[in-house]
Amino acid sequence: MDPIYVLPGSMYWIGDVRHVMSDDIFNNVWKYNNYNEGVYNVNNYKFVVVPTICGDDYYEDSEGFIYQVISGHLGLIDIGLCNDATLSQLSKGKLYTFNNPIYITMNNGIIKITSNDFILNIDTNEDEDENDEYLQEEYEYVDNIVADPDYVPENDVSVNESENETESESESSEDYEDFIDDEKTI
């Protein structure tokens, strides 16, 4: 029987949790536990990860949203575990508020997330040819970075002394507020 994971109701981001997971949680919790699937509890905030069948790829859910997977896993992470440095990545997944427990199962490559009448399926058995246009764009971007040893990210953090915060923190907070407006309550 495939595992069933249960999370309490809360606001969760659904996607590849590596996009929004802080380096501290990644290194000291998930990596420390050998990237195992399951439910993790960090300061009373929870996240769950389950592996995809085809590893890193792009996967479409039953609502038509496409997730970029870079860690070979998809999951749910309590928004309380996201920080300003990771908030800019929220658009790579979906944000939901669940008022009831959430059940996560994996059967034959299909991740199923349910809570009361809410059902979301993510098929990780996707045919690679189906997502070639997304993969090509991603590999071109990655190749440009790898090919250029002098690459400097456009979003360098610079300190704005008058407001005593970095520009990236301010932009991340605005991105988060815009993203919260798109959040769904279940």
Whether the full predicted model's pTM is greater than 0.85, yes or no, is no
Write out pLDDT tens, residues 158-181. 233 333 343 444 444 455 455 555
Name, in order, each residue with C-beta under 8 angstroms of 119's C-beta and a sequence gap of 6 or more.
62, 112, 113
Name, in order, each residue with C-beta under 8 angstroms of 29's C-beta and a sequence gap of 6 or more.
40, 42
Write out pLDDT tens, residues 25-70. 988 999 999 999 999 999 999 999 999 999 999 999 999 999 999 9
- The residue that leads in pLDDT, 130 or 48, is 48
Query: How many CB atoms within 10 Å of residue 147?
Result: 8
